[in-house]
Chains A and B, each alone.
Chain A
Amino acid sequence: KAGVTQTPRYLIKTRGQQVTLSCSPISGHRSVSWYQQTPGQGLQFLFEYFSETQRNKGNFPGRFSGRQFSNSRSEMNVSTLELGDSALYLCASSTSGDQPQHFGDGTRLSIL
């Protein structure tokens, strides 16, 4: 069974630009959660999608948004990038929001 796939693995952007990250969950998993990992703040929850609906959201500004498609694939978008958005963005999938989550290898976003 294929694991969670995140693309791209690395991204370099400049301040003010926007970026879209993609996540393909494990087949059959309908819940997709996104996390931001930084050395200073650790792992922080961004949002969770289930059956194309955002069910839960963390404490991030509105510049961070996401969506989920009918095949459970999910995308995360960050607009008006800031230097502090440099981080490893991790996607995780599970059968439902109360089951163990399985993570992808992440997208490392660097803002210049």
Chain B
Amino acid sequence: AQSVTQLDSQVPVFEEAPVELRCNYSSSVSVYLFWYVQYPNQGLQLLLKYLSGSTLVKGINGFEAEFNKSQTSFHLRKPSVHISDTAEYFCAALPTSNTGKLIFGQGTTLQVKP
């Protein structure tokens, strides 16, 4: 079975400060890892993905994440946040066995304060 745990339900941060949103996964099979962002009344937008290769992946809007196999983590980081980054962020795992089934964490609400 697979599971994804986002360690913080809410992360408040001041504008222009750095932020890290934490994600751990558990899986008995190989998985791909993703971060999605959801703005109010919208669907999920893909921020970045780890499929293979370099463990540091860069995404849109200045976000990056590092895959750590030994710690089974995939934390999301941004060096300087903007008010517009306020949203809910989801970490997700997709088994590589072509199941079409994303397993999501419970989400982290990023609140950027002026």
- Chain A interface (Cβ within 8 Å of chain B)? 4, 6, 31, 33, 35, 42-45, 48-50, 55-56, 58, 90, 92, 94, 96-98, 100-106
Nearest-CB residue, chain B, relative to A41 = B106
Q: CA separation between A25 and B83, bound complex, in Å?
A: 31
Q: Quick check: which of B17-25, B68-76, B91-99 contacts chain A, the rest being far away?
A: B91-99
A-B contacts, CB under 8 A, total: 71
Task: Give the interface residue-count category, chain B.
Answer: 20 to 34
B44 and A55 contacting across the interface, CB-CB below 8 Å? no
Residues of A within 8 A of B46 (CB): 100-103
A contact residues around B67 at 8 Å (CB): none
Which of A6, A42, A48, A104 is B100 in contact with, Cβ under 8 Å? Answer: A48
- The interface of chain B, by Cβ under 8 A from chain A, is 32, 34, 36, 41-46, 49, 90, 92, 94-107
Complex: how many Å from CA A90 to CA B90? Answer: 14
- Report Cα–Cα, A92/B44, bound state, in Å: 9
CA of A71 to CA of B76, assembled, Å: 36
CB-CB under 8 A for A31 and B100, given A43-B90, A106-B43: yes
